[in-house]
Structure 1
Amino acid sequence: MITPEYGRTLTPEEWQPVVDEMLAASHILLSTHENSDGDGLGSQVALAIVLRALGKEVVIINPTIVPPNYVFLTDFYDIKVFRDRNEEDIQEIFLADLLVVLDANLHDRIGNLWPHVEFAREMGKLRLLCIDHHLDPEDFADLTICETYASSTGELVGDLIAAIELKTGKKLCTSDAASALYAAIMTDTGSFRFPKTTPYTYRLAGKLVEKGADPEMVYDFIYNSLTPESLKLLGLSLTNIRILDDGLISWLFISQEMLEETGSKLFDTDLIIRYLLSVPTVRVAVLMVEMQDGRAKVSFRSRGKIHVNRLAGHYGGGGHMNAAGCLLKMSAEKAQRVVLEDVRKFTRENLNV
């Protein structure tokens, strides 16, 4: 496992073990975490385009569907959704000699793929790589590169592609690959405003534009393509936001009833949490969404040096210092009481109030 210190990037030499694995493989699968986002999807698509240009058979197969605002990425490369009981999908895993998990450093983040991946590895053929930038990586792959100070997995994949180009002597990053990587980096940096957006991040984004990335198109698809249902959910959600503890905490619970009333889906909740941090006094924001099975999915956001990944980790989740999440193993009704109490205690301890 390679985890370099802050303020540097991996060199082509440090990427060499990953490059060697990819060049040696013939049938490569790429996957990312459940409820995929721009970073995982953009990184997948860019890497798939590059590997296909090298003559590899490359399949992107994910545990959950592509959210509507990222569907434009499928114009660059096809993205399959894994069906647990579908023989064709299962066969894809057993035909592969390399699986690359992107933007996820815990094995259960790839959901219903994992049991089949585990069995394929036991058969002795499938190699597993993990490329990620989140905290607290799990040692589940044959080779893991987790640079926790990188702004995004897309930033890492940009460096990996450069290392592949150097090794092969070929220019492989097309305009489509550049746009996909730009989407990855833009979304995980909050449009280049989050703390880990370094000068190197801006330089890489500039290089991607030089290679043909279209920032206007990417931004428009991701942030200006809301459905009428998601707008209805946003309106209903804004009226239900609670500001607590002298303005330090913002809290929003979205019930299945709210989703049904507006005709919206789980992925329609993803853009709402940004509004919870829009109040200047708020230091911790919590978005809790009731799932169909009665459990709750929770997203945490914070300002400053409040490590909400520790809060998420308490419930078996994880993420970044200022952005993390988890899927609770309790009912949404119970979670509203338990999590709110924990968030209040956590916030007081971190702010010494």
Structure 2
Amino acid sequence: MKSFLENQIMKSRTIAIAGHTHPDGDCVGSCMGLYNYIKENYPDISVDVYLEPIADNYKIVKHTEDIRQPGAEPKVYDLFVCLDVSQKDRMTKGAELYFDSAKSTVNIDHHVSNTKFAEINHVLPEASSASEVVYDLLEEDKIHLDAAEALYMGIICDSGVFKYSSTSEHTMQIGGHLMAIGVDSSRWIDEVFYERTYIQNRLMGQALLNSVRVFDGRCIYTVVDREMFKQFGADHNDLEGIVDQLRLTKGAEVAILISETEEGTCKFSFRSKRYVDVNRVASLLGGGGHVRAAGCTVQGSYKEPLKIFLEAIEGQL
């Protein structure tokens, strides 16, 4: 029996796919997985994928050169699919215009904070990743290598290479099936998840040196400000892995990465191990995500928001 997504694809002639701002591995993996699947199986359908600039290590996925930036010209798609987007204003900048004009809209996600903003909303908070949710909506025998590699990348990125608490038996089974299609697991894990550029290593090293522990070491945070980005010639794509490394600090239950943007905002990335619901913490200032991984963007300085977040974290420890 075909899924609702397959049925939506089959009755469309033009399709747009978009992820969230500052796309991570799961966002790129789910978007490119669906894009490659449609290109491989429905060559008569015109499909466009819209993402903001992606990190170099994600360009290992086939056809990332096809990624487009939204333009000012009006476009009306038969179907618009949002992937890994928890709320409409988190969509690829500019793509919301195409979303609003599309004949049908679908929202596929795994964030518990999803606001269900599309006509069709398929949100599974228990899934390891948006890529896992997408996989289950596709026909297994029609998933070829290009799509399989993209989905595998998304799953390993959001599951921490199958180690985070959201990893289930089903997640592992999907990973095994994607490997059976031909995904070179060790290569993808090394090149996507573990490899770092020299700039990324230097930025991470400084971020770890600057880290601060509070609540008897049960919470650790660090700040990457604009001066640090300039010092190392880095950008926000080079932050990958820092908060996860902080999370691995012995005795820490919660890790926080704070980064300043050129637009005068600050981004908070939260991770927890077992007890603290960081989605609840992030939601205090309009953010959200998952119980063990969440984020928030605030205007201006990070100092007052940090006090609010730390007080909420202390209340859960």
Asked if these proteins are the same fold (TM beyond 0.5), I'd say yes
Once residues 151 and 189 of structure 1 are traced to their aligned partners in structure 2, the CA distance between those partners, rounded to angstroms, is 6
Q: Provide Cα deviations, 1:297-353, integer angstroms capped at 9, x if missing partner.
A: 110111213110111111111111010001102x12xx22x23322332222112xx
Q: Provide Cα deviations, 1:152-182, integer angstroms capped at 9, x if missing partner.
A: 11111111112xx6xxxxx321112111111
In the alignment, which of 109, 114, 129 is matched to residue 132 of structure 1? 109
Once residues 173 and 147 of structure 2 are traced to their aligned partners in structure 1, the CA distance between those partners, rounded to angstroms, is 17
Say whether the 8 Å CA contact 2:271–2:293 is kept in structure 1: yes
In the alignment, which of 253, 256, 264 is matched to residue 294 of structure 1? 264
Amino acid of the residue matched to residue 192 of structure 2? I
Say whether the 8 Å CA contact 1:305–1:321 is kept in structure 2: no
Say whether the 8 Å CA contact 1:255–1:289 is kept in structure 2: yes
Determine the structure 2 residue equivalent to 1:308. Answer: 278
Determine the structure 1 residue equivalent to 2:85. Answer: 104
In the alignment, which of 31, 50, 65 is matched to residue 61 of structure 1? 50
SS at match of 1:131: strand
Amino acid of the residue matched to residue 61 of structure 1? Y
Deviation at 1:224, TM superposition (A): 4.4
Alignment of structure 1 residues 188-203 onto 2, 5 Å = 188-203=158-173
Unpaired runs of at least 5, structure 2: none
Unpaired runs of at least 5, structure 1: 1-11, 166-170
TM-score (norm 1): 0.84
Once residues 228 and 132 of structure 2 are traced to their aligned partners in structure 1, the CA distance between those partners, rounded to angstroms, is 36
SS at match of 2:138: helix
Shift in alpha-carbon separation, 1:127–1:67, aligned structure 2, 3 A: same
Count of residue pairs brought into register by the alignment:
315
Deviation at 1:209, TM superposition (A): 0.5
Determine the structure 2 residue equivalent to 1:230. Answer: 200
RMSD across aligned positions (CA): 1.7
In the alignment, which of 10, 17, 21 is matched to residue 23 of structure 1? 10
**Larger of the two Rg values belongs to structure:** 1
Alignment of structure 1 residues 64-143 onto 2, 5 Å = 64-73=52-61, 75-83=62-70, 86-87=71-72, 90-91=73-74, 94-117=75-98, 119-121=100-102, 126-143=103-120
Q: Provide Cα deviations, 1:184-235, integer angstroms capped at 9, x if missing partner.
A: 1111101100111111111111011111111122122213442222122112
SS at match of 2:234: coil
Residues 192-201 or 52-61, more deviating: 52-61
Alignment of structure 1 residues 1-353 onto 2, 5 Å = 12=1, 15=3, 17-52=4-39, 53-55=41-43, 56-62=45-51, 64-73=52-61, 75-83=62-70, 86-87=71-72, 90-91=73-74, 94-117=75-98, 119-121=100-102, 126-162=103-139, 171-329=141-299, 331-332=300-301, 335-336=302-303, 338-351=304-317
TM-score (norm 2): 0.94
Amino acid of the residue matched to residue 108 of structure 2? I
Once residues 224 and 276 of structure 1 are traced to their aligned partners in structure 2, the CA distance between those partners, rounded to angstroms, is 15
